[in-house]
Chains A and B, each alone.
Chain A
Amino acid sequence: MPRLDGENIYLESVKPQNIALIRQWSVKTRDSFFLNKTTLTVSTDYLAMLVSSLDHQFYLAHNRGGQPLGVLLFSNIHNPQHIAEVSLTLQPSKNNTKLLQETLEVGLINLFSKTNLVKVYCHCQPHELELKKILLECFFKKEGQLNEHLFYNNKFHDQEIFGLPREDYYR
C-alpha cells in the first residue's frame, strides 16, 4: 500500500517489525482499538494476521519527524455488503485531537476513493470523548449503543456505534 500523506502526519503500512511496538501500546491502554476484537492485550498472531490480510488496511501513523504515533485499521474491506469498519488510536491517548482527526481523514479519503465501500462503521466506548468528537467532525452519526457489550477489568462496558455513509462523506 502506498504511503498516505497529510499535513502533519503520514501513514505507512504496518510492517512485521512494528508489531512489538503496537503490542506495547496495547498493554498500556484501554482504547477501543485494542478491545473491539478479542483480547485485552492484542496478540502477536492477530497483529501478524492484520499485516498480511487482504481484507484489512493497517497503517502506522507517523508525525512529520518520523516518530510513530498510532495505528489506523480498516477491516472487512471486501465484504459483499461493501461495509467496512475503522478503528484507530494514537499514543498517548489524550490531547491528540488534531492529529487523530487528520489520521482518520487521510485514511478515509484514500479508502473511499480506492474502493466501492458504501459505509464505514466505528465502534468506540463512551469514555473516548476525543475519538467521538473526531468522528462527529468527520460526519459520522451515532447509530446506537450496545449496553454491557465488552467485558474487561471484571466488569461490563458499553460500546457505541458510529456510521458514515459514503454520500455523507463526499457531501
Chain B
Amino acid sequence: MSEKITISLRHLEKRDIAKVAAWLTNEDYYQHNLTNYPYNNKRLLQNQLLKEIAVGRLIEARTRLLVAEANGEILTAFIALQNFNWQNRNAILQIYIPAEFRSANLGLIIVTQVYNYIFKDLNLHKVYTYVSGGDTEKLERYKTAKQEPEAVLYNYLRGADGQPENLHIFGTFKKDVFKKPA
C-alpha cells in the first residue's frame, strides 16, 4: 500500500543542525555543490549554521537556510538562499538532496515548493544557480533542458585537484516559472 508523502518547507532550526552538518561534511555534497562552508571542520560548520539561523531571522537578512521535511518528520533536503539583494530582488539558490532521497518525483516536489517560496512568499524577481565547470552531470541536465548559462566566468574556481574551473551562472525568472502554457 503506497503512503502519501507531503513535503513542506521550513526555516532551519537548531535541532536540525546535527543532521544538516552531517550532510554538509559528506563528500557527496562537495562533489555536487559549490560552498563556502568549512566542510572539514564540523564544529566550525555547526557554529556557522547557528550564526546564520540567528541572522536569518532579520527581515533584510542576506542568507536564509531552509529544510524540506517529509510528513513533518524526515528531513529530505537542505536549501540555501544566499546573497539576497532586496533592491534588485534576486538571490543565489542552492538545493541539496542527499542521495537516499534522490528520485525524480521527490526532487520535483521539493523544487516546486522552493520556487513557490522564493517567487510568491519572498516575491523575488529572479534567482541564480552557480554550477562548477567540473560538475558535468549538472551541466548536462541544464543542456538537456535547453537552458544556457547567462555567464561563464573563466577559471573562477579551483577544483579539488587544484586545477582552475569555470563558474557557470544560470538564471531563473519568476515569469518563466509561473508562465501559463500556450
Contacts and interface: CB of A to CB of B under 8 A. Distances in A.
A143 B88 contact: no
Nearest to B151: A144
A144 B87 contact: no
Given A38-B87, A39-B87, A148 B126 contact: yes
Contacts of B83: none
A81 B153 CA distance: 13
Contacts of A163: 153-154
Interface residues of B, number: 20
B171 A146 contact: yes
Interface residues of A, number: 20
B87 A81 contact: no
A144 B154 CA distance: 10
The dominant DSSP class at the B interface is strand
Given A81-B156, A83-B156, A151-B125, A146 B87 contact: no
B155 A149 contact: no
B153 A151 contact: no
Interface string A63-98: 000000000000000000101000000000000000
A150 B150 contact: no
Given A38-B87, A39-B87, A156-B125, A147 B153 contact: no
Contacts of B132: none
A161 B149 CA distance: 13
Given A39-B87, A83-B156, A149 B151 contact: no
B101 interface: no
B10 interface: no
B169 A146 contact: yes
B151 A147 contact: no
B76 interface: no
B43 interface: no
B151 A146 contact: yes
A149 B156 CA distance: 20
6 contacts: A147-B150, A147-B171, A148-B125, A149-B126, A151-B89, A165-B155
Interface of B: 87-90, 125-126, 128, 149-158, 169, 171, 173
